[in-house]
Structure 1
């Protein structure tokens, strides 16, 4: 009888634990897909010229993203800034970058829910030291025009074997509800993002 009671308590504990866990990623990702565009500054419209006097502002461009959605790219003090949407320059993302000198990859992943973009994932290459060595960081940005387009998560792609999976999970679970007054969340092993 005592053995039966332990089995019953164990079974009940499993039921409680199963209901307390979040929904499986596959269930959350239902209806979520990815599409890809390129950021090629030579094909984008330059909207601000480089500052020749101070030399710290390298210019700004407007590129076409998923289905023509505007992508704002700027360079200042050897750091990149990327934002999205019709008022991309005014969104919080337009002022966010990594602390180290950096560049961005040209491939931009758009996370889509039923064909509507809600987040992006872009690989950034921050400098690691004076030797020219760079790191690799995936930055997830939520797309909420009107002040809610901001970086929500960062994943060190060299410190995490499953960096792409982690970035997609962050996009799918955090985008749309992230408060842009908070700093982006570091996901996985921090690596150079400590």
Structure 2
């Protein structure tokens, strides 16, 4: 009887360890391309354009350009989200891939954040900067969470993932995006 209890306790301990490992595996990355040639032009004029693009598992990605700056938002109501109005201060263009942070906490893989590289202009004669933009993805609350200077921070991609995982789920879109790590992409004074 005591030996059976020991085995039972050992099985429970092993199951707890296994579940702890599984919990750590409940967030992962998935990637989609940013290729405006594969997107549908929604509107265009002399001042800019807006595209509807495919995203993770069919989630729409809205990309707009105006005044040499890009805006990116996600979801069925992407044009109504705060992210549709957010961009970076310097002239910019988008990197080639969106990294989606997805979780299966609810039993199915669902995105809660994205990471997208923006290339930004600098003063004349200086090389362009690269900023990783972490965006919260939630219907009615899709917005920029954080900016990470990809050139000033070693391991910037890992820093962006950690920021997305820790900050995006509870981020209040009424607030302003945070600067994470060292930042030299533009003057933030």
Q: TM-score range by the shorter chain?
A: 0.7 to 0.9
Runs of 5+ in structure 1 lacking a partner?
Answer: 1-25
Residue from 107, 118, 123 that aligns with 1:124: 118
Aligned positions of 1:160-179 closer than 5 A: 160-179=153-172
1:86 deviation in Å? Answer: 0.3
**1:96 matched to 2:77:** no
CA contact (8 A) 1:28 1:172 kept: no
**CA RMSD across the alignment:** 1.6
CA contact (8 A) 2:143 2:173 kept: yes
Q: 1:155 — aligned with what?
A: 148
Give, in whole Å, the separation in 2 of the partners of 1:76 and 1:169: 31
Aligned positions of 1:27-176 closer than 5 A: 29-50=24-45, 52=46, 57-114=47-104, 115-131=109-125, 133-146=127-140, 148-176=141-169
TM-score, reference length from structure 2:
0.82
Residue from 179, 184, 188 that aligns with 1:186: 179
TM-score, reference length from structure 1:
0.80
Range that drifts further, 59-68 or 177-186: 177-186
1:181 deviation in Å? Answer: 1.5
Match of 2:185, SS state, is: helix
Runs of 5+ in structure 2 lacking a partner?
Answer: 1-20
CA contact (8 A) 1:29 1:172 kept: no
CA contact (8 A) 2:130 2:185 kept: no
